[in-house]
Structures are given as C-alpha cells and as structure tokens.
Structure 1
Amino acid sequence: MRAVFSYVKPYRWPAIIALMLMFVELFVELAQPLIIAKIIDEGILPSDGTAIWLWGIVMLFLSFLALGAGITNSYFSSHVAQSFGFDLRNALFRKIQSFTMATYLRFPTSSLITRLTSDITQVQNVLFMSLRIMLRAPLVVIGSIIMALLVNAKMAIFLLLGVPFLLVFLIIMVKKGITYFSVVQARLDRVNRVLQESLQAIRLVKAYMRGQYEASRFQKVASNLQVDTVKALRIMELIMPVLLVVMNLCLLLALWFGSAEVRSGNAQVGDLVAVVNYAMRMTGAFSMFAFIIIAFARAKASAERMEDILLIEEGTEDRAGIKEIEENQIGTIAFHNVTFRYPGTNVDVLSDVSFSVSQGQKLAIMGATGAGKSTLLSLIPRFYDVTAGEVYVNGRNVASWDLDILRGMIGFVPQQSMLFTGSIVNNVSWGKQNAALEEVQAAAAQAQIHSAVESFPDAYETKVGQKGVNLSGGQKQRLSIARALIRKSHILILDDSTSALDVKTEAALWDALAEEETTMLVVTQKVRTARDADRILLLDEGRVVGFGTHEELLSGSELYKKIAASQQEVE
C-alpha cells in the first residue's frame, strides 16, 4: 500500500498536528480514572468538599481541553483525508490516461470507475478514521494497561489475561476480512459493469422489450454482491461478541480480586474504581476494533486494487521521441510488411500489409466486416504497436515520434461518434484548445453542419445531451468531423464516419474536404465514395488484395468488381 499512501506525504504536517491533538485526547481519557479515584479517596470517603471541588475543576478543565483538541483534530483529519483523496483520484485518472490501448483493455471500464470512486472513498475514510480514532483505540488499550498497572499491579494482571488471545484473534480476523472484502469489491465491479451496459443500451433494451431480462441480469449480480457482503459482514460480526465476552470475563475476575483486596485493606476503593474504569475503556476500545477491522479490511483490498493501476510500468505510453517535422515529408504514410495481432491473442488481424500514401492524397480503404480496416487506422496514431513490420508517418517510424507530436499531426474521427455533455461549441473546440468561435464556425461549415446548428434556438451554445441523444446520427457524425477539421492536421482519418449522411450532404462534404491540402484515409463501404479517391486499398481477412484507382481495381480485382456490381457502380 506504499504507492497509495505516498500521496499523504504532502500533508504530513497537518497529519502530525492531528496525531498530536489525538494524543491530547488520549491523555485526558487516561487521566480521568485517576481523577475519579482521587475524588473518591480524598473527597467522598473523608467528606472533604474542597478536594471534591479541586479535582472536579481539574476534570472540567481537562474535558474542555479534550473537546477543543477533538474539534481541531477533526478539522485537520478531514483536510488530510480529503486532500489525499483528491490527489490520489487525479493520479489514478492520469495513470489510466497514459495506458496503451492494450493495457486499457485489460481492465473493464466498470472496474476502473469503481477504483476511482468506491475504492478511493474506502481508503479515504480509513485515513480519516486513523487520524481521528483508529490509532487511538490500540493506544487506549496500551495506555489503560500501563495506568492500571501503576494504580494496582495485582488487579491489572487480570486485565492482561485475555490480551494475547484477543491479539491472535484480531490478526486472524483481519486476514479473513481482507480476503472476503476483495471478493466484495470484485462483485461491485460486476454490478457496475451490468448497470453501465444496460444504461448505455437503453434504447435497444426498450426496442427489444428486454427490460425484464436486464432486470433479472442485474438482480443476479446484485444478489451475488449481497451474498458475499453478508458473508463478509457475518464473519466480522463475530469480533465484537468475542471481544466483549473475553474482556467482561477479565473484568469480573478483576472485580472479584479487587473487592477482596479492598476488604483486606490492601487496596483503596478509589484504586478499584480506577482499575474498573480502565477496564471499561479497554473494553470500549476493543469493541471499536470490530468497526476498525471491517474498515481496514475493505481499505486494504481497495488499496491493493488501486496499486494494480499505479504500479503498472509496462503498458503505459512512452511519449518521448522526435519532435522535429521535416516539411518535405508532411502528410506521407507508409506501411512496410506490417503484421498485427491484438495482445493476448494468437490470430493475426493484419498480415504483411504494405502500401504508401503521398502528401495530399486521398486513400479509400474497403473490405468486408472484420477485414482489419479500423485496426489498420489505429496503428497510424500508434494506439497499438505493430507485431512485425514498420509504420511510417511524415517520413519517420511512428515508434520514434514523440506521441503528442505524432497525434497532433492527425485528425481522427472514429467509427462511433462520441460527443461530450456540454455545448456544441465546446464539443467542436475540444479538438483544439482555445479555439475562437470563428474557427469553430469555419470547421462546422466545412463539415456541412453550420446551417443546422444556426437553426437551433441557442445556435452553438445548444446543449448536447448525454452521448448526443438530442441530435441525429448524421448531425453527430458531422460534429465529430468538425472537431477533427478544426485541428488543421496533416492527416485526416475518417473511420466510416459518413455512413449516416445522405447522398447530397456527403457529396458536399467531400467537395469541401477536397479543398484541403490534407492527406485523407477514409474507411468506407460505398464505391461512390471510394471511386473519387486517389487510391483504393482493398483488404480481405487482414491482407491487401487490391491497391490502385477505381478503374484499375475494376479491371484487376474480382472482389472489387463484385462489390461495385452489388452497388451498381460498374460503368
């Protein structure tokens, strides 16, 4: 847990102050039984009112001192815990952002969300409890034993009888708790995953009338979570009864022996009351261990899950590399004998792919579903590293580029349009920081969406609903394209990004893009779109089976000829 709790270091001084204040509270708590003993022995038994008032004032002063220390301790403890949680959450998020796509796919999105929310909250709460009461409980036990021994060693011995047993018992329960709550957090991941999938597909669920099925699926994972949580808590619930039985037995023995000592004149009544008081404080502290162990076990399991993220070294993006761009190579792309398979699989998605694209050219990429089109495009901005071969962008191997520079040269529009909650202007300008409204409008006009946006009551300030639910499929695609165009990149990648556009709008879009001096790679299923490209790359099961112009492929590729014939594009 060292990696997780290293984020406490910037707040060590507030934490130290909180601990010092906790020691003040501890001192007062341990002093009170002695003061009570003094009041009994020096005030009540000899009927000395002055002694009662004197020790009463001392007790009242110490009580106010403890009150002030407790309030101030809570302030500093909250500050440390909240600041720690803020820094840790940001560090985890930045770490996830640095993952390669291969590393990212190792963790379900729901699991990452749980680690960034629930797991951090568990650890944050334990940190607060540690500074407030968690460390205080064992110190109360130790301090009570020491003070009881100082008051009357013979009576205090009986309080020590159960301590070794309780320590062994608590260690066993901590280990069991960590195991059980690791399972609980994993179950919570599954609940979040099912919930996320169901909510994301809510339209599909309603269209197929699968609400009852999804409810049953959610009930199943929620039931598993409930069963494992109850199992963990039932084990933890054994702690307090066992602690109370053992401590009360020790207390009874101390009372039996102490009363005999008082009757024989070997001990004062105040001594017996003080030892009993310390025994009660020990019992209270031990009873707190039930809650402490549950919190610690959950936090330990959560901290280990977060360390799984923080300690990942392999699988994070190495961003350092070449930053200088050669002007004569801008916009060039070349694949040299590229083979690629996804991490953890043994099937080649791309096999021995070679082609090149010159500056300003438009390359259309065609092929059946699963041919490797989107995978090929993902190698250009280096979302993945190739298994074999080399990919060149702007004259250099993508592995040698500084990642920020490489991706800054590319405008990427994925297959599935992704819009963020916020205004239209924010969504378009997301592609370029600090973009002016004029730049946003120019990009939107080029993407053939400006007129539609202007027709909205709030124009570019129109709020986009979750995942763009208040926009049509074509509007979302064009806004995604505008977001890429505003970057003014050397290379524009469109991964089947015009599938929802009508013929007229798509034609206007291609005419507008033709004015750009940008190299374009376009995945499309439409021959009418591909035929205007400078070159067409035809893929089949991850292999290049055709490369050339529309006319060249019509005469030299049976597969392309079939595709064209099916779309009635043969002249």
Structure 2
Amino acid sequence: MKYFKQFFRRHRGRAVLAALLLLGQVMGTLLIPALIADVVDRGILRGNMDAILRTGVQMLVVAVLASAVAAWGSWVTSDLSALFGREMRSKLLRKSQELSIQQFGAVGVSSMITRSTSDITNLQQTLGMMLQMAVPAPIIVAASTVMTAMVSPVMALIQVGFMAVLLIAAGVVLKKSNALSRSIQVRLDRINRVLREAITGARVIRAFGNEAYEEERSGGAYESYADNMIRLNKLFAVFIPVVWLLMGALIAVVLGIGGALTLGGTMEVGQITAVTEYSTLTMAYLIMAASAMTTLPKARACLDRLQELLDMQSAVADTAAVPAEPVHTAAVVEFDHVTFSYPGAEEPVLRDLSFTMYPGQTTAVIGSTGSGKSTLADLLLRLHDVGDGRIRLGGVDVRQLSQTELRGAIGCVPQKAFLFSGTIADNLRMGRPDASDGELWEALRVAQAEDFVRRLPQGLGAPVSQGGANFSGGQRQRLSIARALVKRADVFLFDDSFSALDVKTDAALRRALRRSVTAPAKLIIAQRVSTILDADQILVLDEGRLAGAGTHSELLEHCPIYRAIAESQMNRKEA
C-alpha cells in the first residue's frame, strides 16, 4: 500500500479535486429522491401545477449538474489511474536496470513483462473502480440510512439488515477469491514464459520437429490458467444473482411495509417513493462497491508482486561513501588479485586474477569454455561485484565510481550482438546522441560495415527490426562494434565480438582498429587464436586461473595450454 500512499501524496491536488467531485456527485444523487417525494406529495397528489413545475425544474438542474460533475470526476479518476500506471511502469523499468544479472534472471523476463503489463493494468482498473464506485458508497449508504430514518426508523432498520446480509456475502466471496487471484497471476507468468520460448525458439522447434510437444506444453499452461479462472468466475457467477435477489427483496419489503404504513396514515405516498429510491441507491452503490471489491484480491496479488520486485535491493549498488583517493598509475585498468564466485557456487569462477591494461594497448583473453572469460568482462562493467581483490579504472576502485560514470568510460560490444528497433543511426547514437553523421560513417568504416549500410536504400535511416532480426549475425556484430566506437570511450571491451565474422573481415577489422583506435585500451575476449595474434598481451585462462600471459610467440613457447589451443585451430605453418 505504500506505493499508493506515495502516489497520492505526490498528486495531492488531483486527489483532492477527485474527492470534491465525488462528493458533489453524491450530493446530487441524494437530492433527487427528496425532490421526487416533494413533487409527489405537494404537487401531484394536491394537483398543484406550480409546485410540479418548480420542483421539476429543480430536478432538471440538479440532474444536469450531477451528470456534469460525474463526468468530470470520471475524467479525473481515469487520469489518476493512467498516471499511476505510468509511474509504476517507470519504477519497474528503473528497477530492472538496477538489478544484478543474477537477480534479473531469478525474476525472469516473462514475469517482468507480466508485472509491467497485466499486473499494472489490473491495478489501474481497480484504482479507477474504487475511486468511482467504492469511495462514494459509504457516504451514500450513511446518508441514505439517516434520511430514511428521518422518515421511518423501521424502514432504516430494514435497510441495515439487508446491507448486513450483502456485506457478509461479499466478505465470503472476497476471502475465497484471494488465493485464487494470486495463483492466476503466477500461471499467467508461466503462459508468457511458454509463449515467449515458443515464439523466439520457433526455428529450433521446427528443426527438431517438436511442434507436438510444444503444443502439449503450452496447452498445459493454458489449462492450468483456465481452471483457476473458471473457479474464480464461478464465485462471481453465484454472487451477482444473490446480490440482485437481495435488491429485489428489499424493494418488495419496502413497498409492502410502506404501503401498510401509508394505509395506517403514518407515511405519505411521496415518502414511500423517497424511501424506495434511497433503498435502491443504497443497494446499487453497495453492489458497485462489491463489484469493485471483487477486484481487490487480484489487485492485492498484483501489488504484492510489484512490491516484491520494487523492494528488492540490488546486489550491485552505487556506494554512498566518499570516493577513495585514486592510485597514481599510468594504467587504465587494473585487476588486482580478483576472485569471484557466483551465489551458491561451490568453486570460484575467477581465482586470484591480476593483470594491467595501458592506454593504446590491446589485451586479449582466451581460454576454454567455462574458463571465466565473459565473467571477467562482466566484472569490469560491474554487472557483478568482486568477492576479493580490486578492479581499478584510472586508479579508482570501480566500486567507488557510480555505475553511470564507470560504464560511460567503457565502450562495450557484448557477446550477443543485440540491436534495438528503430534505425541504424538510432542504434549507433546509443552511446553518444550528439554524434554527427560523419562520425557514424567513420565508425561504420572501421567496423567494416560501411559497404553494406551504403547499399541500403535509406542508409543510416534504414529500419532495424526488434533484436536486429533483419540483419545477418555478422552484420549485427559489425553494427554493434560501430555503436561502441561512436562512444569515444577510454576502454573498449569486445566480448567474443568477432565470432560471426569471416577470417578476411576479421583481419580487416583488426587492422582498422589498430590504425584508428590508438589512444583507448582495448580488451578482446576471443575463442579464435587468429583474432588475437597481434595483441600486445594475451591472457590465458584455465578454470578461472591465469595460466599464462605474454605475446603470441612467447605463449607458444612457454604456455602449454595456449600452445594446445593454437595447434587445435591452426596448422604448423601458421603457428
């Protein structure tokens, strides 16, 4: 509930306006039955045309004003609901960027999407319904009961009795639907996960002829969700007719007892009409309130899921401490006895790793699968925090730098070349929005992407589909490299970023990098020895340890692990 409180505190003005409009709507609604009683008793029954016309004009004015106020109130409450949804989605997006990779993976992409769409939409709808239906109900009920009691205490007691029965029935339904609503959102997560895998993995599914299994798996997810929805709808299917039955019974009792009191001379016909209207209003608003409250269990489950995520403390957070004095060094990057283990892992991924990178120097990292190469890159970007040791950028421990400052100094080409929907220019300017077209073309030239981009009819304005699916793997890699080069960073990090390139393009790209990217330090993580032949220093990782460091020729002579890798990829002449 704290997020609702924070929201209404920030938008106190709109909330007060909505409350005043709702109050005006309630006053107009309550005034109509009194005017109806007046026109019946003083006008119709007495044949007084002036009273009929006067009261009729008053009713028309009240009805028009009440309708205008109600329409304005609906607009304000809808605006508040939409604003709440926008702010919650913004919070979720910021939180998703703050969480560590492990935390984000634990939540899951499908669950994150469900929370950002379905959960928040449910909360928006519930907020709107509560403001327009549930909030006026207590005022209407209290005022109607008081005004009925002023006419006939007996009638007021009858109203209270029927209201008590209705509230008990609503309480039972809410209690039973609470657990079902929670499970429904969890099952919706599963549907999103299964659908996402079926869509993104369509090529693999077809290649293995696994369509029948996927249909069965998705069918199980749909069936589980449908079963819970059916059980929830059955509760409401029983509740709604019971409510209408109570409403009809109340009106019948009011008319019956009111008729008897009228015959006895203790009530007037107009008063019976007014009491009937008040009873109808009371039950109608209670029904609307009950309808709004039936959404509360689901909304509560959605809010709990959002709060669970928003209250999650990021494992990687900017420090509030005063930054430490930088160590005076010519090095750009220093790994100082770094050891790192993933949460729950029995063995460290990296063990006592130390090396230094200098401006203009190319450092390459190679090793077998699982040796810790990509983890090393993640630690430099501070996607994880080191366990022991230090990583320094410009002589400052990366944990003493803000994440924005740290990553702003690094141009990263990730292992999976991912492009965003938009245009080529939009993607290239991701790291530096003010880059000129000339700078974009220069980056494309270095990345060996200029030729194919110029062949596109729209050039830099060519559209990019989601994930860059309209480009080949090699084209996506080259565009990702160009995007990093546009940034003008102090350190360039290439995490196995040449794997989709042919040998000729790989060699041309490395030559262009040597000529054009001279001042920044470059860290290349690679699988192929041919990619790192001309590196100033090559680090060989073996099960998280530094098994060797040096140039290509030095490692061939002194490092058996590197020699084995090289010989497995190259013939004797090349080695």
Question: Under a length normalisation based on structure 2, what TM-score does the superposition of the two structures give?
Answer: 0.93
Q: Is the 8 A contact 1:420 1:464 kept in 2?
A: yes
Equivalent residue letter for 1:553: L
Equivalent residue letter for 1:458: Q
The aligned residue for residue 93 of structure 1 is 93
Distance 1:360 1:80, change over 3 A: same
Shift of 1:231: 1.7
Matches of residues 287-366 of structure 1 in structure 2 within 5 Å? 287-315=287-315, 317-318=317-318, 329=329, 332-366=332-366
Q: Distance in 1 between matches of 2:206 and 2:322?
A: 51
Distance 1:160 1:462, change over 3 A: same
Q: Distance in 2 between matches of 1:364 and 1:227?
A: 55
The aligned residue for residue 551 of structure 1 is 553
Question: What whole-Å deviation, never above 9, does each CA across 1:177-219 have from its counterpart, x for those lacking one?
Answer: 3332222122212211222222222333333343443333222
Q: Distance in 1 between matches of 2:462 and 2:202?
A: 24
The aligned residue for residue 493 of structure 1 is 493
Question: What whole-Å deviation, never above 9, does each CA across 1:308-348 have from its counterpart, x for those lacking one?
Answer: 23323443631667889979746532223322122344442
Q: Is the 8 A contact 2:100 2:314 kept in 1?
A: no
Matches of residues 390-429 of structure 1 in structure 2 within 5 Å? 390-429=390-429
SS in 2 for 1:379: helix
Q: Distance in 1 between matches of 2:99 and 2:108?
A: 13
Q: Is the 8 A contact 2:318 2:401 kept in 1?
A: no
SS in 2 for 1:106: helix
Q: Is the 8 A contact 1:3 1:310 kept in 2?
A: no
Q: Is the 8 A contact 2:133 2:289 kept in 1?
A: no
Moved more, 186-195 or 343-352: 343-352
The aligned residue for residue 566 of structure 1 is 568
Shift of 1:375: 0.7
Q: Is the 8 A contact 2:316 2:385 kept in 1?
A: no
Q: Is the 8 A contact 1:331 1:518 kept in 2?
A: no
Equivalent residue letter for 2:464: V
Equivalent residue letter for 1:521: L
Moved more, 517-526 or 209-218: 209-218
The aligned residue for residue 466 of structure 2 is 466
Percent identity between the aligned chains? 35
For these two proteins, the number of residue pairs brought into alignment is: 571
Shift of 1:269: 2.2
Shift of 1:172: 4.0
Equivalent residue letter for 1:441: W
Q: Distance in 2 between matches of 1:123 and 1:165?
A: 28
Q: Is the 8 A contact 1:8 1:80 kept in 2?
A: no
Question: Under a length normalisation based on structure 1, what TM-score does the superposition of the two structures give?
Answer: 0.93
Q: Which runs of 5+ in 1 are unaligned?
A: none
Matches of residues 73-472 of structure 1 in structure 2 within 5 Å? 73-315=73-315, 317-318=317-318, 329=329, 332-472=332-472
Q: Is the 8 A contact 2:327 2:396 kept in 1?
A: no
Moved more, 110-119 or 314-323: 314-323
Q: Is the 8 A contact 2:428 2:479 kept in 1?
A: yes
Distance 1:167 1:336, change over 3 A: same
Equivalent residue letter for 1:136: P
Q: Distance in 1 between matches of 2:569 and 2:106?
A: 40
Equivalent residue letter for 1:453: V
Moved more, 80-89 or 469-478: 80-89
SS in 1 for 2:497: coil
Equivalent residue letter for 1:205: I
Q: Distance in 1 between matches of 2:357 and 2:380?
A: 12
Q: Distance in 1 between matches of 2:19 and 2:523?
A: 61
Shift of 1:499: 0.7
Q: Distance in 2 between matches of 1:393 and 1:569?
A: 39
Moved more, 215-224 or 171-180: 171-180
Equivalent residue letter for 1:555: E
Q: Distance in 2 between matches of 1:327 and 1:485?
A: 28
The aligned residue for residue 505 of structure 2 is 505
SS in 1 for 2:53: helix
Q: Distance in 2 between matches of 1:314 and 1:459?
A: 41
Q: Is the 8 A contact 1:527 1:569 kept in 2?
A: no
Q: Is the 8 A contact 2:98 2:314 kept in 1?
A: no
Moved more, 375-384 or 461-470: 461-470
Distance 1:164 1:283, change over 3 A: closer
Distance 1:96 1:445, change over 3 A: same
Q: Is the 8 A contact 1:4 1:303 kept in 2?
A: no
Equivalent residue letter for 1:525: Q
Q: Distance in 2 between matches of 1:445 and 1:6?
A: 51
Q: Distance in 1 between matches of 2:190 and 2:97?
A: 22
Moved more, 435-444 or 308-317: 308-317
Q: Distance in 2 between matches of 1:32 and 1:507?
A: 85
The aligned residue for residue 61 of structure 2 is 61
Q: Distance in 2 between matches of 1:56 and 1:446?
A: 83
Q: Is the 8 A contact 1:413 1:495 kept in 2?
A: yes
CA-atom RMSD in angstroms: 2.4
